[in-house]
Amino acid sequence: WAVYAPYVVAINELKKKRGAVILAHNYMTPDIYHGVADFVGDSLQLAIKATEVEDDVIVQCGVHFMAETSKILNPRKTVLMPDMEAGCSLASSITAEGVEQMRAKYPGAPVVTYVNTTAEVKAASDICCTSSNAAQIVAAQDSDTVIMTPDKYLAQNVAKQVPGKKIVWWDGSCIVHEQYTAQDLKEFREWNPGTRIIAHPECPPDVVAEADYSGSTSGIISYVENEKPEKAMLVTECSMASNISDALPEVDFIGPCNMCPFMKKITLEKVLYSLHTMTTPVEVDAAVADKARLAVQRMIDLSK
């Protein structure tokens, strides 16, 4: 912490001067998560929080689609990205044309799009979803067939939860969660009996089937806080365990984890630079934002 302290102090002072609030995703490193964030959460919680921000400036500590979502929902605010290169393999796997291709293939089927997408893709969709509400959103669609983009594994996991629907999906995946295999988890359980295995729904369905619980990043945190298992393996991004382990000394976090190279582009140094120079503001074309807002707002309304 001694290394981080000067940055934490400087950022927290500059935040006040700029009238800024820091919204941070659960995958941020502990220095950001505990040191400078005003609000931490999963994608849905961050989107809802963005609608409530009264300060002039939002610094989005997360990836680009999260900053776009904040800008779409609260367009009068300046939304800063500390590193514009913080992308997402899911967001880059599909364009608005891809959505139109799916519509042409399955005429009349509603398009449920994961928030891990660009504003243009959201604008081309009927409604958004996150990992915490995907099954609920799909179940609410008034159609037997539902198109889910772009995460094929989230779609396949939702298909098991909503068996009454025919779900068709785009061929996208998360480079962090697709690396886990069911075999790894089986072996892990064998070598570490009693371990509670907790997986994000971006993991392949056979991996989720091996887990004791699957949920959004905030769902995972709540599960561990409530259950306090003796040993826990978080089948997700590495910072999750780092962020909660100090407050849960009774839980032994074990097992390998995978790092998201995009999330890890956001550092304390870049957050300080971002606030100092007021860079880089995220802009979304007004017509695209209006359409995308409808898809995101429909999701928020259904999630209440």
In the 3-class helix/strand/coil scheme, how is 207-269 assigned residue by residue? Answer: HHHHCCEECCHHHHHHHHHHHCCCEEEEECECHHHHHHHCCCCCCEECCCCECCCCHHHCCHH
Quick note: the x/- pattern for ligand 13P over 148-177, rule CB under 6 A, is --------------------------x---
Q: Is 60 in the site for ligand 13P (CB under 6 A)?
A: no
Of 37, 44, 63, 124, the one binding ligand SF4 (CB under 6 A) is: 63
Q: Is 116 in the site for ligand 13P (CB under 6 A)?
A: yes
Spatial contact of 271 and 243, defined as CB atoms under 8 Å apart: no
Q: Which token pair is 132? A: 């915490």
Burial code of 12-49, b = ≥16 C-beta within 10 A, e = fewer?
A: eebbeebebbbbbbbbbbebbbbbbbbebbbbbbbbeb
Q: Is 174 in the site for ligand SF4 (CB under 6 A)?
A: yes
| Spatial distance between the Cα atoms of 207 and 205, rounded to a whole number of angstroms | 5
Q: Is 130 in the site for ligand 13P (CB under 6 A)?
A: yes
> What does 42 interact with, of ligand SF4, ligand 13P, none (CB < 5 to 8 A by kind)?
ligand 13P
Tally Cβ neighbours within 10 Å of residue 226.
Answer: 8
Which 8-state DSSP code applies to residue 203?
S
Q: CA angle, corner 182, sides to 177 and 188, nearest 5?
A: 100
Of 117, 217, 243, 274, the one binding ligand 13P (CB under 6 A) is: 217
Q: Is 88 in the site for ligand SF4 (CB under 6 A)?
A: yes
> What does 23 interact with, of ligand 13P, ligand SF4, none (CB < 5 to 8 A by kind)?
none
Of 4, 8, 24, 26, the one binding ligand 13P (CB under 6 A) is: 26
Please state the closest distance from residue 304 (CB atom) to ligand 13P, in A.
Answer: 17
Number of residues that bind ligand SF4 (CB under 6 A): 13
Q: Is 260 annotated as a binding residue?
A: yes
Q: Which residues bind ligand 13P (CB under 6 A)?
A: 26, 42-43, 116, 130-131, 174, 200, 202, 216-217
